[in-house]
Amino acid sequence: MFKNALKYYKFGKYHAEKMKFEYGKIIGSMNLTKNDELSVVDIGSGSGRLLHEVLIPLLPKNIKEIVATDIDEKMIDFSRSVNEHPKVIFNVLDIGGEKIPLHFQNRFDLLFSSYCFQYVRDLGRAFSNCEKLLKPNGELALIFQCKTNALYSTYKKMSRIDEWKLYMKEYANFVPCFSDPDPDSELRNITENAGLTLINYNFDPEFYITIPRKQLLGIYQSLDNIKLAAVPKDQQEDYNRDFVRSIAEEIDLRFSNGRIIDEPINFQVPTVIIHAKKNK
């Protein structure tokens, strides 16, 4: 049940230093109250490992609650089982969904998310949902991949394979976020339409991680929920074969005698860092 979650817990730490650096800068620039208790929400917490190892140590001491959320109920169950902190609450939440629960609306002073929003299909709706989660003048810090998306680009390729096109049809016309020639205008329009004010942002196209190829494949396999959610068990071996073949071109996998050559790779992860606040 926790196979994907356990794999992500093991492999999904590739962006820890980037997350620590960018969150540290943004939190340091916030004019946070020291008198009132603050509520925090983390979007796309995944296994919860980086929430505990990176984000929580950066937060001020006057935190009342930290709500850790993920779209995957099994990931939330796993996170709850391996992470203990007296102020952390785990909840299922789809930031790209049509509705935000009433008990979460206007609840949070601070919203964080790292390397989650590249998997949101409707970025405008996700930003609007962030606005709903925040209190007036609440602030958000988002870090996510832009311009490329190896997982969804792989699904797009697989949508052209007869055996899998039924499961991949929603990805047939996929285009990565901020891949237009003018990403600055795109970002400004999205935030403005969502009722948010940009404080600062940066597109970092030259962010690279050095990572063994097998570990990189393990990250994407842990993120692939289509196999477990939709593909019949008797077809999953064939699916996994085609998934690995399709993603190999995206993440530069190399093979020798049918085996992955497990050498380190400098893998480019174009990233956008956003600091914004909710309007009054």
Q: How many domains does the chain have?
A: 1
Structure token pair of residue 108: 């949070």
CA distance 142 to 266: 23
- Cα distance between residue 90 and residue 41, in whole Å: 10
Residue 106 lies in a domain: yes
Distance (Å, rounded) from C-alpha 67 to C-alpha 90? 6
The domain that holds 75 is classified in CATH as 3.40.50.150
- The DSSP string of 202-225 is EEETT-EEEEEHHHHHHHHHHH--
Q: Do the beta carbons of residue 165 and residue 242 sit within 8 Å? A: no
Q: 56 lies in a domain?
A: yes
Specify if 165 maps to a domain.
Answer: no
Residue at 41 is within a domain: yes
Give the end-to-end CA distance of the chain in Å, rounded to a whole number.
43
DSSP code for 275: E
Cβ-contact 233, 239 below 8 angstroms: no
**pLDDT by position in tens, the chain (length 280):** 345 655 565 666 778 999 999 999 999 999 898 889 999 999 999 888 899 999 999 999 999 999 999 998 988 998 888 888 999 999 999 999 999 999 999 999 999 999 999 999 999 999 999 999 999 999 999 999 999 999 999 999 999 999 999 999 999 999 999 998 999 999 999 999 999 999 999 999 999 999 888 888 888 988 888 877 789 999 999 999 999 999 998 998 888 877 787 888 899 999 999 999 999 7
For 251, the token pair is 């993440």
Residue 23 lies in a domain: yes
CA gap 56, 227 in Å, rounded: 33
User: Residue length, the chain?
Assistant: 280
Residue 58 included in any domain:
yes
Q: Do residues 153 and 177 make contact, with C-beta atoms less than 8 angstroms apart?
A: no
DSSP letter for each residue of 106-161: T-EEEEEEES-GGG-S-HHHHHHHHHHHEEEEEEEEEEEE-S--HHHHHHHHHTTS
Domain of residue 11, residue span: 3-148+175-209+268-278
In a domain, 194, yes or no: yes
Structural domain includes residue 259: no
